[in-house]
A and B are shown apart, each in its own frame.
Chain A
């Protein structure tokens, strides 16, 4: 028997009360800073999004809501080659999944930088899930 899966709906604009009550963006006590911005198809910051990353090698997980500039920030293990990242936002009816290659990420003042673009010619590569 196969049951039909429950459909997705947007996280909406008020998710911080349910998802961001406690800071969860430091996967390790000491590591390297991973920063980036969540941007829409007009390159405008998405200030009501949430990014979840998962370091499959260590099982460590983190979550960060975006700020007014669309920025997110994590602390990750320095030797992790990549993390998987789910993106949620108001206006996004289903989450999107990407992989952040830390080894390839741009260096910016000691931090790794990876911007996520939801739409357009420079859209981030999202996986079919």
Chain B
């Protein structure tokens, strides 16, 4: 049998047929090969549909946990930004008291993590992690610096577009979501298999924050707005036709 010389494409063409789903066995993202489940999923037990998720009242984030620029003696280097938005359910109702956790690379594209050894400087004034609870309107807000793009070993000359990792707990247990927020107009979008594993371009657009002049603080920080919608079975709800 002839073996194809065609390399695995890093990015597949758009496919709106995927709805909002991320394609978990996306071939361009190599680490999915032995990690993406390949057996049929089982129907969710009935009692989990309405089960309320964990409450984090006894381990509530501190008031400054949402300001990643004030966790050390000095200011971190980079472009200071404010990232804010609302956590909503599919019916556009705000989800208050939701725990939102974030982590990111510094402005040079380096994570404060032992596994990240790429030759960009660490910033002694930036750890890159924050958390907060949403307010009564479902609002969250982080002050940070814009993360840099960084190389990774997935394929030759692979670079991740700048992003902030988000982890969110909804009101319901099934509204759990871990995702990544991207910045508008990033030239690396077209080359990134993780971003493009969301095959529907309308769904991918939901991962991109918008620049927001109203949230921009004069003489201080650029504003980005990004709303998060937690479906039932977040990350995998259908898109309206």
Contact = CB atoms under 8 A, between A and B. Distances in A.
B43 to A, nearest CB: 6
Contacts of B198: 7, 9
B37 A15 contact: no
B22 A5 contact: no
Nearest to B231: A5
A94 B20 contact: no
A52 B68 CA distance: 25
Q: Is the interface of B mostly helix, strand, loop or mixed?
A: loop
A91 to B, nearest CB: 3
Interface stretch (B1-9, B44-52, B213-221): B44-52
B171 interface: no
B92 interface: yes
A19 B101 CA distance: 7
Given A7-B21, A19-B103, A59-B55, A93 B36 contact: yes
A54 B173 contact: yes
A17 B127 contact: yes
Contacts of B36: 91-93, 118-119
B2 to A, nearest CB: 26
Contacts of A46: 35
B174 A129 contact: yes
Question: Could you say which of A6, A12, A41, A44 has the most chain B C-beta atoms within 10 Å of its C-beta?
Answer: A6
Interface string B88-109: 1111100000000111010000
B155 interface: no
A18 B129 contact: yes
Contacts of B45: 99, 127
A96 interface: yes
Q: Is the interface of A mostly helix, strand, loop or mixed?
A: loop
Interface string A1-24: 111111111111111111101101
Contact of B112 (A13, A17, A123): A17
By size class, the interface of chain B is 35 or more
B222 to A, nearest CB: 22
A85 to B, nearest CB: 11
Nearest to A43: B34
A88 interface: yes
A120 interface: yes
B176 interface: yes
15 contacts: A4-B240, A7-B206, A9-B22, A9-B195, A10-B178, A17-B103, A17-B128, A19-B167, A40-B34, A54-B173, A90-B31, A94-B235, A94-B236, A119-B37, A120-B38
Interface of B: 20-24, 26, 29, 31-39, 41-45, 47-48, 51, 53-55, 59, 88-92, 101-103, 105, 111-113, 115-116, 127-131, 165, 167, 173-174, 176-180, 194-195, 197-198, 202-204, 206-207, 228-237, 239-240
Given A18-B129, A119-B39, 20 more contacts: A2-B91, A4-B90, A5-B20, A5-B90, A6-B234, A7-B20, A10-B178, A13-B113, A14-B113, A14-B115, A15-B103, A18-B128, A18-B131, A42-B34, A54-B54, A84-B48, A88-B178, A91-B32, A94-B21, A120-B38
Interface of A: 1-19, 21-22, 24, 40-42, 44, 46, 48, 52, 54, 56, 59-61, 84, 86, 88-97, 99, 118-120, 123, 125-129
